[in-house]
């Protein structure tokens, strides 16, 4: 399996528009972060997790020719605002499969009504194939995907496990029961916003505590704010098997 980090930034990305913060003006390419998303490829399949406002740019940067579906962690705009840009894939294949919880599908139907309408649908609008998922395993192509329910403040959202790889974004807490799904991983990707605590996202210490509890062989941090610090400096203070992800980073898992 191959994982490509398409974006590793929090909701406003880095640099933040108009911000003179030291990280936002850094010229290290690893300090430039589009909104969080990953591409997961195996055999002849490719899926993305989330479809934020940078989706088009991310598909071009990673030279993605086709996808077999989009898995959604939750409905916040930084994970869904790029929906209109799935059109090249829906024109090619007729439909793009969406895998999402009921609450996400309902929210998307409200916000992107022109995509989901059946009456007088605009010819150029994307076409999607909805797969409502619950907290139990699903199959994409020939692969089992296990949702991992995490708490994003009061919102219950999904991370996903694919064999020995798991991707968790926008978590603040994870129940003991769901943490068990993160045991025996080769790679855990998990969000770490900044040093200070935040009401709905894990900070660095909280993310490291979870990593320490489930002990993956390697962990990569994502959904990063400019307040976390420079990639090069934060990397130096991390435990041996923990890394900051950056846009464009690829892993073979
Ligand atoms: Zn987010
Ligand atoms: Zn969110």
Whether the full predicted model's pTM is greater than 0.95, yes or no, is: yes
Looking at the CA of 200, name the nearest ligand.
2
Largest CA distance in the chain: 56
- CA 12, CA 10: separation in Å to the nearest integer? 6
Does the N-terminal peptide bond of residue 15 adopt cis geometry, omega within 30 degrees of 0? yes
- CA 180, CA 87: separation in Å to the nearest integer? 38
- Residues flanking ion ligand 1, Cβ below 5 Å: 78, 170
Instruction: Quickly tell me which residue has 């420079």 as its tokens.
Output: 230
pLDDT, tens digit only, all 253 positions of the chain: 999 999 999 999 999 999 999 999 999 999 999 999 999 999 999 999 999 999 999 999 999 999 999 999 999 999 999 999 999 999 999 999 999 999 999 999 999 999 999 889 998 999 999 999 999 999 999 999 999 999 999 999 999 999 999 999 999 999 999 999 999 999 999 999 999 999 999 999 999 999 999 999 999 999 999 999 999 999 999 999 999 999 999 999 9
Looking at the CA of 107, name the nearest ligand.
2
Question: Residue 115 contacts by C-beta under 8 Å, 6 or more apart in sequence?
Answer: 83, 84, 108, 125, 126, 127, 128
């Amino acid at each position: 399996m191959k994982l490509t980090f398409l974006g590793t930034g929090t909701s406003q990305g880095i640099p933040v528009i108009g911000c003179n913060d030291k990280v936002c003006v850094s010229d290290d390419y690893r300090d430039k972060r589009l909104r969080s998303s990953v591409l997961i490829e195996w055999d002849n399949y490719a899926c993305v997790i989330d479809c934020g406002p940078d989706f088009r740019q991310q598909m071009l940067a990673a030279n993605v020719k086709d996808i077999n579906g989009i898995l959604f962690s939750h409905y916040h705009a930084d994970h869904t605002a790029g929906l209109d840009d799935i059109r090249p894939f829906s024109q090619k294949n007729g439909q793009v499969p969406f895998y999402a919880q009921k609450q996400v599908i309902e929210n998307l139907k409200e916000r992107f009504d022109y995509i989901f309408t059946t009456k007088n649908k605009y010819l150029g609008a994307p076409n999607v194939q909805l797969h409502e998922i619950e907290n139990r395993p699903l199959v994409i192509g020939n692969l089992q995907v296990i949702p991992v329910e995490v708490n994003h403040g009061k919102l219950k959202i999904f991370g996903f496990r694919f064999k020995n790889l798991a991707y968790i974004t926008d978590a603040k807490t994870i129940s003991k029961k769901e943490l068990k799904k993160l045991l025996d991983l080769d790679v855990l990707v998990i969000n770490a916003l900044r040093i200070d605590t935040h009401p709905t996202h894990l900070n660095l210490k909280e993310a490291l505590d979870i990593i320490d509890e489930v002990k993956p062989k390697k962990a990569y941090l994502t959904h990063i704010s400019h307040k976390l610090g420079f990639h090069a400096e934060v990397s130096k203070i991390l435990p041996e098997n923990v890394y900051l992800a950056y846009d464009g980073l690829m892993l073979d898992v």
